[in-house]
Amino acid sequence: MARAKPAPVRDVLIVGGGIAAHTAALYTARAKMRPLILAGTGMDQLSSTTLVENYPGFPEGIQGPELIQKCKEQAERFGAEYVGEDAESLQGKKGAYEVAAGGTAYRARTVILATGAKARTLGIPGEKEFWGKGVSTCAPCDAPFFKGKVVVVAGGGDSAMEESLTLTKFATKVIIVHRRDAFKASKIMQDRVLGMKDKIEVVWSAQVLEVLGDKFVQGVRVRDASGKERAIPCGGFFLAIGHDPNTRWLAGSGVQLDPQGYIQVQGVTTSLPGVFAAGDAMDPHYRQAVISAGAGCMAALEAERHIERAKAEGSY
């Protein structure tokens, strides 16, 4: 592979294209750190959702793509520069960090990692087609849209339990379809779910094969352990089969990851000095836009402090 062309050393490089990255960009731009954002070539999670009703400041809700676009424009107004490249590696070199992307070695004294996570999907027919039209991966975001409907949830971990409990507040009935005959979730969450027999039904040892519908979800086709297939009529289908953080590119960088691949942090500080993390790449628990934005702000303030300290110590 051709050696990446080195770029001038900046104060801060932000990797990611979601709300954590844009918030870090806004704060570092206003702090006159001239941030460069490697925003990737893919789509962040908010850009692939529809109406966001739980982000403060928008009483009528806001479309996910519009929220993200506004955050980006706000950062650009203060001078943040965006590059649509995917980061390939991170390395510490001669007092600066180097991030390789699209044939260039982007260099900076501090780096903010905000590459997000991807909700796992099943890859079954109808899943993409009805995305945002009854198929969702976020009950806290979308549950109120399923008022008075029957919904199916796939998964057996804590997320599936939590999403199901959230959905019971709106849906008339929640049907959990789990691929095994026992949940993976913590005992306390299982007990809560299994204690709600009037609202939550469990279909054990079954797989969802297809999402059915017309303009909106109308059902799912499932196969049980005996191989028998049937359609379950429902108005919504929630995937809660886990998330994968977008952190593979950090292999060999020295940034410590947990066994699931999430960036390990103390607050927003990673295992490398001057490298901070924000958003779903370091947060397996909350996965909410407002928390990612908050962490992006924290990472920006820490990056600014890091530079100030380096200046005070004469190592800048």
Helix (H) or strand (E) holding 244: strand 243-245
Indicate which residue of 71, 141, 234, 297 is catalytic: 141
Catalytic (active site) residue 141: yes
Under 8 Å CB-to-CB from 238, ≥6 apart: which residues? 135, 136, 137, 139, 142, 151, 152, 153, 154, 163, 167
Cβ–Cβ under 8 Å, residues 293 and 23 = yes
Q: Find, among 112, 90, 115, 116, the residue nearest to 101 by Cα.
A: 90
Nearest-Å Rg of the Cα atoms of the chain is 22
* Cβ nearer to ligand NDP, comparing 91 with 205: 205
Q: 142 catalytic, yes or no?
A: yes
**Residue placing its CB nearer to ligand NDP in the complex, 243 or 306:** 243
* Active-site entry in 11, 142, 158, 283: 142
- In sequence order, the β-bridge partners of residue 104 are 5, 101
Looking at beta carbons, which residue is closest to ligand NDP?
Answer: 157
Least Å distance, CB 161 to ligand NDP, is 7
Question: What is the binding site for ligand NDP (CB under 6 A)?
Answer: 120, 122, 154-160, 162, 179-180, 184, 240-243, 284-285
CB of 244 to ligand NDP, least distance (A): 10
Q: Is 71 a known active-site residue? A: no
d(CA 247, CA 243) in angstroms, rounded, equals 12
Shortest CB 286 distance to ligand NDP, Å:
9
Tokens of 49: 């959702």
Least Å distance, CB 201 to ligand NDP, is 17
Known catalytic residues are 138, 141-142
